[in-house]
Structures are given as C-alpha cells and as structure tokens.
Amino acid sequence: MKFNQWSKERIEQGTKVITSRKEMHTNDPDVAFILGKLPWGIIRDRLYIAEGAESPEELQEVIDKIFARRGYPVADNEEFYVHVLRR
C-alpha cells in the first residue's frame, strides 16, 4: 500500500494503526482486515488518534492535501473503507 511521508513517519512511530481509503485493499500485505465503510466525519472526529493524528483538524489537513488535485476538501459524508494495518 502506498503511504505519504506523514503516514510513513507515524507508522514507524507506531501511532498510525489504521488507514482510510476510497477503495478496499483486500489482498494487500499491509492490511490485517477491513472494518468497513464509514463517513469521513466519523473517521476524522472519532478515529483520528488511530489514524496517527493529534487532532481532527490535523487529520483533515492531511486528507485535504491528498485530495487537493480535485479542487475541493473532503466532505464529512464522503465514505472511506477503514483498513487496520498489520503490525
């Protein structure tokens, strides 16, 4: 699975244990299992620590940078598959 530098650092530190993706990565060796699809607002506000962020605002900044090319921020109702990473 591809990760940006922000995510790589947090995975190495052991603070990022999940990652949220638009598509399921069922056969990826980095993935232990997939929790399912959740709205971004829930992921940001309730799972930000497991995502490796210190605050929901930090996680929103990170995801907006990832999706910046589309020209608008990630909305609360957009759904993502939550992947639990292998340790």
Q: How many C-beta atoms lie closer than 10 Å to residue 15's C-beta?
A: 14
27 pLDDT above the threshold of 90: yes
Across 1-87, where does the E strand assignment appear? 18-21, 31-39, 79-85
Q: Edge-to-edge strand order for the sheet containing 18-21?
A: 18-21, 79-85, 31-39
Q: pLDDT class for 63, splitting at 50, 70, 90? A: very high
pLDDT band per the 50, 70, 90 thresholds, residue 37: very high
| CA separation for the pair 66, 86 (Å, rounded) | 22
82, pLDDT greater than 90:
yes
Q: Which amino acid is at 82?
A: V
Residue 87 has pLDDT above 90, yes or no: no
